[in-house]
């Protein structure tokens, strides 16, 4: 049976490491230029090299995004950039534009090229075209149904990748002009201002300054605002479709988001492959996906054309049930103490949950905490403060501490 790659987003070096440690087979990341997430942390060139080397040390892969639609003034630095990425040992670059594809073929002919979802590959003939040009993989457009994907799989030999989880763009595979028109920030050059999430009213031409609600309620409506994609319930169908890579969206999402979502899909994929006849969706997976920052979930285009039920009209806020409060750096099995880097205010007496790679979650109460000098403390208020804490059970480095969120929603 086809074993799909689980491909995770990496907005910075820490997220890259967490994604791979929590079970991703590969990561995709962008440098400071030429990628479609200009406002994520992204990677300096030395960090790209570190990320690629870290992935390879685990026997995993790293892909670099060069998926903007460049203008003339973007091209002068591109050949040297592609050459440097090839020299670092990247496993592939992800491109959208034929001109970038051409330059990459000239500069680094042996470097594998993946075709971005931005290229709008919605049919088997387009995918076959990229195959004939020498691409090694096509990331399919998000507007495809599972039936479409199966037909493309029958027609082509090239690797196929598709998104299975994360934010959805209201425009055709992300080819959006609204941001550029309203703010001057070009979504197709990595600078999207996400105006699809803004609040809108109607203004009548002869009544400037008089705002009428479009619908829903007196606060306005978010009529471009899509729910997030989530296909955890459909792992068997996705694997049987012949997709080679399952892609998680979210280079601008948090470390907690990346680790949690990767862990859930890793467990689901492995569960199905180990015993297909006995597979069932576990409630714990569904619960975990509610704990990270997200919008309400949808299946996108996979099983039907989206309707009004797949949009959110009343708010652009995110939902999450838990806060990420600490990261385990070290654990001493003799003393039962863990060294923890604080990521959110935590207090003695709070009930917390500990999530760790490849293991079940642990519930415990914070009974004691000590500062870096060993003095007992009641609260850890400082960002990235180093503390020690007794653990009720053994934990591993990169385990994440979280607690039920004090506030129920966040923007």
pLDDT digits (tens, 9 = 90+) for 66-82: 988 888 988 999 999 99
What stretches of 215-254 show up as alpha helix (H) in DSSP? 235-240
Top-level CATH class of 322-406?
mainly beta
Both ends of the chain: CA-CA distance in Å?
A: 42
Average pLDDT taken over every residue of the chain: 88
From CA 251, how far away is CA 42, in angstroms rounded? Answer: 9
HSE-up (13 A, CA, CB side) for residue 230 = 22
- 311-343: pLDDT as tens digits: 655 565 678 889 999 999 999 999 999 999 999
From CA 66, how far away is CA 177, in angstroms rounded? Answer: 19
Say yes or no to pLDDT of 228 above 90: no
Report, as an integer, the average pLDDT of 241-251.
94
pLDDT of residue 410: 39
Helices (H) and strands (E) in the chain, counts: 10, 24
pLDDT of residue 174: 64
HSE-up (13 A, CA, CB side) for residue 108 = 23
Report in angstroms the alpha-carbon separations of 91 from 28, 52, 286, 304: 10, 8, 32, 34
57 band by pLDDT with thresholds 50, 70 and 90 = very high
List, by residue range, all CATH 3.20.20.70 domains of the chain. 5-172+225-317
From CA 121, how far away is CA 279, in angstroms rounded? Answer: 32
Report in angstroms the alpha-carbon separations of 259 from 93, 212, 265, 289, 357: 23, 42, 10, 11, 8
List, by residue range, all CATH 2.40.30.10 domains of the chain. 322-406
Token look-up 């079970």 returns 23
pLDDT of residue 411: 35
- 274-310: pLDDT as tens digits: 999 999 999 999 999 999 988 888 888 899 887 666 6
pLDDT of residue 207: 75
Question: How many residues in the chain?
Answer: 411
Report the predicted TM-score, pTM, of the whole model to 2 decimal places: 0.86
On whether the CB atoms of residues 86 and 51 are closer than 8 A, the answer is no
Q: Identify which has the larger pLDDT, 108 or 212.
A: 108
Q: Determine the CATH number of domain 5-172+225-317.
A: 3.20.20.70
Say yes or no to pLDDT of 218 above 50: no
């Amino acid at each position: 049976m086809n074993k799909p790659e689980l491909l995770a987003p990496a907005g910075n070096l820490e997220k890259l490491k967490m994604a791979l440690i929590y079970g991703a087979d590969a990561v995709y990341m962008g440098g400071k230029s030429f990628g479609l997430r200009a406002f994520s942390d992204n990677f300096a060139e030395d960090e790209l090299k570190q990320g690629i080397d870290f992935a390879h040390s685990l026997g995993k892969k790293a892909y670099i995004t060069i998926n903007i639609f460049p203008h003339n003034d973007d091209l002068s630095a591109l050949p040297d950039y592609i050459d440097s990425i090839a020299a670092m040992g990247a496993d592939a670059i992800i491109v959208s534009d034929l001109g970038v594809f051409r330059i990459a073929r000239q500069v680094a002919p042996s470097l594998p090229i993946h075709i971005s979802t931005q290229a709008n590959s919605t049919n088997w003939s387009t995918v076959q075209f990229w195959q004939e040009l020498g691409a090694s993989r096509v990331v399919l457009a998000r507007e495809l149904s599972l039936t479409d994907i199966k037909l493309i799989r029958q027609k082509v030999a090239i690797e196929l990748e598709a998104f299975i989880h994360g934010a959805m763009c209201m425009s055709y595979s992300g080819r959006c002009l609204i941001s550029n028109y309203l703010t001057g920030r070009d979504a197709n050059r990595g600078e999207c201002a996400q105006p699809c999430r803004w609040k809108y009213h109607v203004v009548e031409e002869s009544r400037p300054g008089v705002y009428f609600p479009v619908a829903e309620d007196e606060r306005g409506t978010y009529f471009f605002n899509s729910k997030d994609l989530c296909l955890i319930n459909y792992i068997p169908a996705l694997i049987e479709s012949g997709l080679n890579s399952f892609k998680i969206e979210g280079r601008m999402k948090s470390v907690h988001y990346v680790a949690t979502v990767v862990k859930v899909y890793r467990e689901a994929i492995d569960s199905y492959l180990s015993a297909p006849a006995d597979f069932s969706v576990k409630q714990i997976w569904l619960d975990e996906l509610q704990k990270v920052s997200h919008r309400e979930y949808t299946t996108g285009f996979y099983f039907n054309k989206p309707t009004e039920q797949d949009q959110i009209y009343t708010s652009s806020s995110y939902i999450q049930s838990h806060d990420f409060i600490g990261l385990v750096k070290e654990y001493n099995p003799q003393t039962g103490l863990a060294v923890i880097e604080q990521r959110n205010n935590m207090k003695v007496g709070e009930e917390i949950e500990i999530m760790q790679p490849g293991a079940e979650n642990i519930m415990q109460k914070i009974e004691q905490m000590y500062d870096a000098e060993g003095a007992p403390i009641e609260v850890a208020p400082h960002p990235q403060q180093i503390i020690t804490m007794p653990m009720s059970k053994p934990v591993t480095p990169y385990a994440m501490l979280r607690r039920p969120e004090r506030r129920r929603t966040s923007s």
